[in-house]
Structure 1
Amino acid sequence: MNIDLTHKGTMLSVLARDPRDRTLGIALASSSIAIGARCPHLETERAAIASQGFTNLKVGPLALDLVRCGLTAAEVLEALRQHDRWLEYRQIGILTADGQIGAHTGKEATGWAGHRIDDDLVCLGNGLSAGAAALDAVAEGFKGSSPGLPLADRLLTGLENSKRLLGESFPITSASLLVRSPGAESQIDLRIDVPNRPVEDGGNALADLRRLYAEYLPLVDIYAARSVAPRAF
């Protein structure tokens, strides 16, 4: 695969919280390669954080440290402004386990860039041909899915809804899904770094991620039980 490092790309991310059990999750889709290694950061009972745009790899871990120290989401964003001289090139989303939200879209972010905030939900995007409508589609897909579904399903549905709107203007090269629940032994941490099926579905890493999630979901409880009672297996 030839990688064009001058390509500024397109990216969508959605962070959400289930207020019933404080489950936190992040799903991302990008035209850039291997996005799951750089942009999502999540700690159970603390916060979910997305750092995107011209990503600073230090921002996510630093933001989690600041949450651990007791700073609010707004205070974390202010601290990041003091820490990162290039923050106007970046996007940051913060959703804490107790429902605090912070979001930043720098004025130098790529193409059309913005964020949308709802209760227990943050959507971020840059390089979007459809502008704010792409973020609205993420939120509508997430909120329109059954509340009884796992948070991971709803996150993927949100991104898939926006992909249908954006079509070929949003080639998805990589995608990731990170979901963690308090007290759970096994967590969801899945990623697609490059598309697996360029012929069958046009090289859509989000479609690959949905298939991977469908195969992994039935195994989550088995892996959790096996980790604490290996003799039973």
Structure 2
Amino acid sequence: MFGIGIATSSIAVGNRCPWARARVGAVTSQHRSDIRLGPKGLDFLSAGLSAEETVRRLIDESEFPDQRQVAAIDRNGGTAFYTGPKIPSINSGYQGVNCVSTGNVIANPDVPKAMVEFFEGAAGVPFVEKLLGAIDAGLAAGGETQPIMSAALLVVDEQDWPLVDLRVDLEPEPQAKLRQLWEAYEPQLEHFIVQVLRPNDVKPRKAPEPVQA
């Protein structure tokens, strides 16, 4: 699996910043987010470029590299990130084993490190829970200097479509709402796969229990 857990103080982070493709890798485009870099980065990874080569190409071909923040992970677990020298807020990135984190407008440079350390230390924890827990760890380490208002969870696995694509916008504590959405979605995960690949195997759903007045 490849996945991204992300939260920020601006709206629609799930639409603008995280990108992932099954059996290929994942890319994030942050700070003055250039949405074009996500699909372009995935195409580079699909063509066999490493995460490091992908980030370098994205920055080399960007019109405003000094304002961009980009990270990538490739199919071999290689990671890379870049933070532009003209980003005015505190910003940093940190790499770990099979993971990478970047942030800007953050309270201190150690926020991405805290996220990576949680992810690496969560042995035996399911993948999605690692991503959600990493968001919590980043917030506990200081998070952003502004209250976060949107959060997203994007995961790809074996199919060509996202296994999970959940988004929260303009909500106080969106990370808590994101976890609630995941807890509601997880029991239906297999159903959504089966209905695509083997629709004749889908079992009728039980009608909801009536609410007692």
TM-score normalised by structure 2 residue count: 0.87
Query: Greater CA radius of gyration, 1 or 2?
Result: 2
Q: Does 1:144 align with 2:121?
A: yes
Structure 1 partner of 2:20: 42
Q: Does 1:51 align with 2:29?
A: yes
User: What is the correspondence of 1:148-167 to structure 2 with a 5 Å cutoff?
Assistant: 148-166=124-142
Structure 2 gaps, min length 5: 204-213
Structure 2 partner of 1:17: none
Contact 1:186–1:220 (CA under 8 A) maintained in structure 2: no
Contact 2:96–2:117 (CA under 8 A) maintained in structure 1: no
Structure 2 partner of 1:175: 151
In structure 1, distance between residues paired with 2:155 and 2:165: 7
In structure 2, distance between residues paired with 1:139 and 1:68: 25
In structure 1, distance between residues paired with 2:200 and 2:67: 52
Q: Does 1:102 align with 2:80?
A: yes
Structure 1 gaps, min length 5: 1-22, 196-202
Counterpart code for 1:101: T
In structure 1, distance between residues paired with 2:114 and 2:81: 18
Equivalent in 28, 41, 44 of residue 66 of structure 1? 44
Equivalent in 167, 171, 174 of residue 205 of structure 1? 174
Change (3 A) 1:214 1:103: same
Name the Cα RMSD after superposition: 1.9
In structure 2, distance between residues paired with 1:204 and 1:77: 31
In structure 2, distance between residues paired with 1:155 and 1:64: 20
In structure 2, distance between residues paired with 1:59 and 1:167: 24
Structure 2 partner of 1:25: 3
Deviation at 1:180, TM superposition (A): 1.2
SS of 2:190's partner is helix
In structure 2, distance between residues paired with 1:91 and 1:127: 12
Count of equivalent residues = 202
Change (3 A) 1:194 1:63: same
In structure 1, distance between residues paired with 2:164 and 2:19: 13
Contact 1:73–1:95 (CA under 8 A) maintained in structure 2: yes
Give aligned-pair identity as a percent.
Answer: 29
SS of 1:41's partner is strand
Q: Does 1:123 align with 2:92?
A: no
Deviation at 1:99, TM superposition (A): 1.3
CA deviations over 1:110-147 (Å, ceiling 9, x no partner)? 41101001110101010111x222122212322232x3
Equivalent in 112, 123, 127 of residue 135 of structure 1? 112
Between 53-62 and 221-230, report the one with greater CA deviation. Answer: 221-230
In structure 1, distance between residues paired with 2:113 and 2:135: 10
In structure 2, distance between residues paired with 1:41 and 1:184: 13
Contact 1:177–1:189 (CA under 8 A) maintained in structure 2: yes
Deviation at 1:172, TM superposition (A): 1.4
Change (3 A) 1:169 1:186: closer
Deviation at 1:98, TM superposition (A): 1.1
SS of 1:215's partner is helix
In structure 2, distance between residues paired with 1:118 and 1:223: 32
